[in-house]
């Protein structure tokens, strides 16, 4: 058993060619997931029991099952139905990338909406009372008081979820997508050198994770610029 450096130098550029796919999966499903999460949050905060209930069941199901099962249900499962194959969504669901993005979006939306809810519930009641005393409407209070404060409270947990979303994108390789992990698995199947290939890829992911953490750190400091030394 030896550690082949040339193989790393040889395979690293090949794996990095899949960086664009990984980034695309992360950014597109991250943004769509955030929109879905806000929708679910508004449903839960609406005070209408039927909206709240639907959102709760949705979150329960998507947080209670493995993401891999969700990917398989969407990619392999949905084409079982003729109606799906005839529908307008078929152009998306036919492509593995479309399925992966859909699955990741639906999954991360459920997690992020709970994080956002934690942020909203963490907003100091006194500030909302102050808003009422100033004659703000419920909508104004939500936009000018709850939203900015909840964003700041939820950001650390949100950055953790973006990192787990990045790690979940690696599962796209199970439905034939050639992201970084997909390419690495092909190389390992050819060369049978799991150490060199998987460890160098793990380092790439770690650098990526580190970058995301730093980026959110900067954003967190920016949002917290008025709140320093106040706790």
Partner 1 sequence: MEVLTGWWDDYLWGAVIVAKVFAASLLLMVLFGLIGAAAKLSDNRVAQKIANGYTVIFRGTPEILVILLLYFGSAIVLTAIAQVFDPDIRFVDVPPFWAGTIAIALIVGSYATETFRGAFLGVKPGSIEAARALGMSPLQTFIYIRIPEMWRIALPPFGNHMLSLVKDTALISIIGLNETLFVAKQAITVTGKPFTMYIVVGIIYLGFSSLITLSVMGIEKFGNRTTVGAR
Indicate the residue among 144 and 210 with the shorter CB distance to partner 1.
Answer: 210
Closest approach, Cβ 220 to partner 1, in A, equals 18
Piece of 42-50, 89-97, 185-193, 219-227 that binds partner 1 (CB under 8 A): 185-193
Indicate the residue among 14 and 42 with the shorter CB distance to partner 1.
Answer: 14
CA neighbor of 175 nearest in space, from 101, 84, 65, 83: 101
Q: What is the DSSP string of 50-66?
A: HHHHHHHHHHHHHHHS-
100 forms part of the interface with partner 1 (CB under 8 A): no
- Quick check: 108 and 29 in contact, CB under 8 A? yes
Piece of 6-14, 38-46, 118-126, 189-197 that binds partner 1 (CB under 8 A): 189-197
77 forms part of the interface with partner 1 (CB under 8 A): yes
CA 152 vs CA 4, 142, 216: distances in Å? 46, 14, 11
Please count the residues of this chain forming the interface with partner 1, following the rule CB under 8 A. 42
Interatomic CA distance for residues 134 and 140, integer angstroms: 11
Cα 43 to chain centroid, rounded: 20
Tokens 């690696």 identify what position?
A: 170
Indicate the residue among 74 and 149 with the shorter CB distance to partner 1.
Answer: 74
- Quick check: 152 and 224 in contact, CB under 8 A? yes
121 forms part of the interface with partner 1 (CB under 8 A): no
Interatomic CA distance for residues 83 and 70, integer angstroms: 20
Closest approach, Cβ 184 to partner 1, in A, equals 8
| Footprint of partner 1 (CB under 8 A) | 1, 61, 63-70, 72-73, 76-81, 163, 166-171, 173-174, 181, 184-185, 188, 192, 194-195, 198-199, 201-202, 205-206, 209-210
């Amino acid at each position: 058993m030896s550690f082949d450096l040339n193989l790393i130098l040889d395979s690293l550029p090949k794996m990095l060619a899949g960086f664009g796919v990984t980034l695309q999966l992360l950014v597109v499903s991250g943004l769509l997931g955030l929109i879905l999460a806000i929708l679910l949050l508004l449903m839960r905060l609406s005070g209408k029991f039927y909206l709240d209930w639907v959102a709760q069941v949705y979150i329960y199901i998507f947080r209670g099952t493995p993401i891999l099962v969700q990917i398989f249900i969407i990619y392999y499962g949905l084409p079982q139905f003729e109606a799906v194959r005839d529908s307008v969504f078929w152009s998306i669901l036919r492509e593995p990338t479309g399925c992966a993005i859909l699955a990741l979006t639906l999954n991360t939306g459920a997690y992020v909406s709970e994080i956002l809810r934690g942020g909203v519930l963490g907003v100091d009641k006194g500030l909302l009372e102050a808003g009422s005393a100033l004659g703000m409407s419920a909508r104004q209070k939500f936009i000018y008081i709850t939203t900015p404060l909840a964003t700041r409270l939820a950001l650390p947990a949100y950055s953790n979820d973006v990192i787990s979303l990045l790690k979940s994108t690696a599962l796209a390789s199970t439905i034939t997508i050639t992201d970084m992990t997909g390419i690495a698995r092909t190389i390992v199947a050819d060369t049978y050198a799991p150490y060199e290939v998987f460890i160098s890829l793990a380092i790439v992911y770690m650098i990526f994770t580190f970058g995301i953490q730093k980026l959110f750190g900067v954003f967190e400091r920016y949002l917290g610029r008025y709140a320093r030394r106040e706790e």
